[in-house]
Amino acid sequence: MKKRYTPDIAELGATCEANYLRLSKLRPAELDSVDTLHYELFAEGHYLGVIKLSLTERSRYTDTILLEQTHAAGRWLNDPHMLVRIYHDASMAEVISAQGHLRIDGFNDYPNDNMHLPDEKSQLNKFLAEWLSICLRYGHRKNSLDDQANVWCS
C-alpha cells in the first residue's frame, strides 16, 4: 500500500523564513513607499527578462505582493507569476497563489481536479526560493526615479 504524503512543516517553515529574508533584500525598508519594483536579469551577458514585484495588499502585520517575470529569455519559460503573502510578525513569506490557481493547499490527494501534486505548496515555495536567489544574484533594480539607471540589488 502506498504511503500517504505527510507535509514536512519544519522544512516548509525554514523555506518560508529564508524567502522572507530574500524578499527583505529585494525590497528594503527604505523602499516601503514604492508599490512596484522592477529587476532586470542578466547572466554572463545574456538578458534573462524582467521580474516585477508589486505590492497588492498591505495590513498591519502582512503584505501581499505579486511577483511576475516578463520578457523571459526563451520560449520554454511561461512567464511565471505568483502571489506571495509576507508575514512580518513571523518573518515568513509563502506562496498563496500561482499561475492563476487561487489557492494552494498544504497537501493534496492525488489525483485531484487541478492535478496538483501532493506537495505542490512545498514545491512552489522552493521554486520561489530559487527564483528570488536568481534575482539577488543576477538582478539589477531599475531605479524608480530614473528608469535609465540600474543599481545592483545585492
Q: What is the pLDDT of residues 33-51, one digit of tens each?
A: 788 999 998 888 888 888 9
Q: Enumerate the H helices of the chain as residue ranges.
A: 9-26, 120-138
* Residue 18 backbone phi and psi in degrees, to 5: -65, -40
C-alpha pair distances (Å), 21 with each of 44, 93, 94:
26, 9, 12
Instruction: Count CB neighbours of 117 within 10 A.
Output: 16
The per-residue pLDDT for 104 is 73
Q: What is the pLDDT of residues 126-147, one digit of tens each?
A: 999 999 999 999 998 876 544 4
**Which regions in the chain score pLDDT beneath 70?**
1, 30-31, 72-78, 101-102, 105-112, 114-118, 143-154
**Confidence at residue 150, expressed as pLDDT on a 0 to 100 scale:** 40
Phi-psi region for residue 27, left (φ > 0), alpha (ψ -120 to 50) or beta?
beta
Model pLDDT, residue 66: 95
Query: What does the block give as the cell for 146?
Result: 530614473
pLDDT for 34 equals 81
Helical segments of 42-140, H only: 120-138
Over its C-alpha atoms, the chain yields an Rg (Å, rounded) of 16
